[in-house]
Chains A and B, each alone.
Chain A
Amino acid sequence: MLRRKLRLVMLGVVLALISAIMIYPLLWTVFTSFKTNRELFLEPWGLPSNPTTENYIKALERGNMGVAMINSLIVSLSSIALISLIAPMAAYATSRIEFRLRTLMSNLLIAGFFIAPHAVLVPLLLLLRDLGLIDTHLGLVLSYVGWNLPFAILFMKAFFVSVPQSIQDSAKVDGLSNYSIYSKIMLPLALPTILTVAIITFIGVWNDFLFAFVFLRSPSNFTVPINLLNFTTGRYGNDYVAQSAAVIISAIPTIVLYTVFAEKIRRGVSFMAFGR
């Protein structure tokens, strides 16, 4: 009995220690964002003695974070809107409608899931250049849609395969076309799954650095991650407390999403392991 209790206590200590390591760097950044730079160097561990919101105002205005947040919102929402429209259709067609070359079509749509977008950075940039879409939100959105579709389709297919065949058969007997079956019956059933895909994609696009870094040029178009980097390497390179505020601002939307949709997000992310 005593040994059992001792084991439990030890387990508790280990879990508390791991939690502390996980949460400490984030908490430190929150505290730092309310300090002055002088205080940061003199008291790197202390609580802010005279908490100031000045860093947040600086990050939003001079640090361009306000503009970047709006840009990221535009880009992320446009991307998930297009994906939510296109992916369920393709997933439904390739899992529930019989047509020639269906397997080939399905494989082509999913293959991108196994390819690193980094490999094709050069030709992708040239493509956007030919389309006249360098340094535009449209070019960024189209690239995000293209590269996020494979996962979205894979995830949606798993759902459509699980819908009982009898539902589709009785709709056919009632004389509905493939398209009406999709829009009147399947789409409403798929809404919760579409929401999961939309949330996962939103977080992915909101956090993406690579495409924005390569395709965007002007700060007025910057999304949040590239603007963060720009803020820390530019004129305010030594203003660590303002940078801390910018980091906190940048993380708020995804942390809010995570607290509301934790279960959906974890399920969607785990699927990446079992989707293959």
Chain B
Amino acid sequence: MSLPALIFVGLFIFYPLAQMFYLSLFRWNFVSPNLVFVGLENFRRMFLDDPVYLRSLLNVALLAGQSSAIQIPIGVALATIILRYRRVGRLFWAIIFLPYVISSVAVSLVWTWMYNPYFGSVNVFLRAVGLGFLARPWLGDINTALIAIFGTVNWIYIGLTTTMTIATLRSIPPSIFESARIDGLSGFQEFRKITLPLLKELIVVLMIIDISGAFKFFDLIWVMTQGGPSDTTHVTTTWLYRAAFRSSEPGYGAAIGVTVFVFSFVIVQFMIKVVRSKLTR
């Protein structure tokens, strides 16, 4: 009964995965009948001769880091508020989760317009409040492009972080909160004494999601900047796409794929096995 699923998974996940490792050892251009075996040359080039690749790794790290640092505290705060004030909370929850169900391409276009130098609301707002000197082409400026993208990322995913936190908090039996209230704990004490320890594991899980998510990041950057200006906003997946399909170097693209697979897999396994088990022990 699991055979149909195995066929799909085998053909579309494991077979390409194996071929990715094989292709990463070759130089090729998609059309030529002969693949040139180059050993580990693609990997040497990546780490020693490809500054954009290294920059893309840095961007992935920044993306994961800022997502964890900004979304987790805000998400936890919002989740506690939503659960405490249930009636207003329901509506608020519905609103902040909304961006997550809209396609990333649509959302990226909307934010490209928000950042537009002429009619974009960000600049219009800055000029309206007398901060016109700060107005700039946010996505075209080498100093602000990445920050502008991060802003959009947080706008999309804050609802998801909050929702996952709410699911965790709901798994705590309400009697614990009741007895805390009887003992006279204030809202903040209640949060620190009961909620936070129970949230520790969730925080690790959210960090795992942020890290693996950063390695799966593609749409937003491709739509908003295509990796520009001057290749400063590439993440590994956009650089993989450029190398494989725009520069027609599928071998090099496959080699970047190997690193995406290895990095995300190794880091995530490390988080699950080491960090999480330390916390739960």
Contact = CB atoms under 8 A, between A and B. Distances in A.
Interface string A98-138: 00000001001101101111111111101100000000000
Given A116-B215, A122-B253, A207-B104, A26 B96 contact: no
B103 A116 contact: no
B216 A116 contact: yes
Contacts of A142: 8, 12
Contact of A19 (B6, B95, B101, B124): B95
Interface residues of B, number: 83
Interface string A261-276: 0100111011011101
Nearest to B96: A22
Contacts of B13: 111-112, 115, 120, 146-147, 150
B106 interface: yes
A155 B166 CA distance: 19
Nearest to A118: B237
- Chain B interface, >50% SS class: helix
Given A108-B6, A254-B101, A116 B237 contact: yes
Number of chain A interface residues as a range: 35 or more
A121 B124 contact: no
Contacts, number: 257
Interface stretch (A38-46, A56-64, A168-176): A38-46
Given A41-B118, A44-B121, A225 B106 contact: yes
Contacts of B96: 18-19, 22
Nearest to B220: A209
A2 interface: no
A26 B6 CA distance: 41
A114 B265 contact: yes
Nearest to A259: B94
Contact of B92 (A15, A117, A120): A15
Interface string B12-26: 111111011001000
Given A115-B13, A266-B167, 8 more contacts: A41-B118, A85-B4, A116-B260, A119-B17, A240-B119, A251-B103, A258-B98, A273-B209
